[in-house]
Amino acid sequence: MLQRNYKYLIWALSIAINGLIALAFFLPKITVLGGHDFSKLPLLNALLNGLTFCSLMIALLAIRRKKIPLHRTFVFLAFLFTSLFLFSYLLYHFSTPSTKYGGDGILRVVYFFILVTHVFLAALIVPLALLTMAFGLNGQIDRHRKIARWTMPIWLYVSSTGVIVYLLISPYYHY
């Protein structure tokens, strides 16, 4: 059984992270950050998502080869890149108006499908990734494996679609 204090911490972090992301879209933009140009942060966010994806792929290959220390290292790297992404993402969205997608036709449908699935699964991956890591760190390997079968593909999808969303909307950013 996962230690009770971890469960509360995981749920508190999940609610706080997803709540901050939602607030970034609904609250007025913070002007005290004025004077700083955050227009390049979406590119940084895409790079961090790409690094997360690469780290997860190496972690997956490592665990399939039973190289547990290498797996652990690259999962921690994925968490680091994701944490840096989260900070940068929040900084950008708390300070900069959202960019509207300007494409049309089938590409517009594709963009919004990818965006909606990305957003939904990004919210879901927060508690899944934290739970998966907690089980692994607590030595609950059976539970870790069971949930990781869901966590890994979802996290790979979220990190890769983060890059795709950036590539599709980047022509509409105002630099």
Tokens of 170: 């980047």
Q: What is the CA radius of gyration of the chain?
A: 17
Residue (of 96, 118, 119, 103) closest to 40 by Cα position: 96
pLDDT at 33 (0 to 100): 65
pLDDT at 98 (0 to 100): 85
pLDDT band of 4, cuts 50, 70, 90? low
User: What is the tens place of the pLDDT at every residue in 70-103?
Assistant: 999 999 999 999 999 999 999 999 888 889 999 9
Which class would CATH give 4-24+39-172?
mainly alpha
User: What is the tens place of the pLDDT at every residue in 31-61?
Assistant: 666 678 888 999 999 999 999 999 999 999 9
pTM of the model: 0.92
Domain ranges (residues) in the chain: 4-24+39-172
Cα gap 165→110, rounded to integer Å? 10
pLDDT at 26 (0 to 100): 86
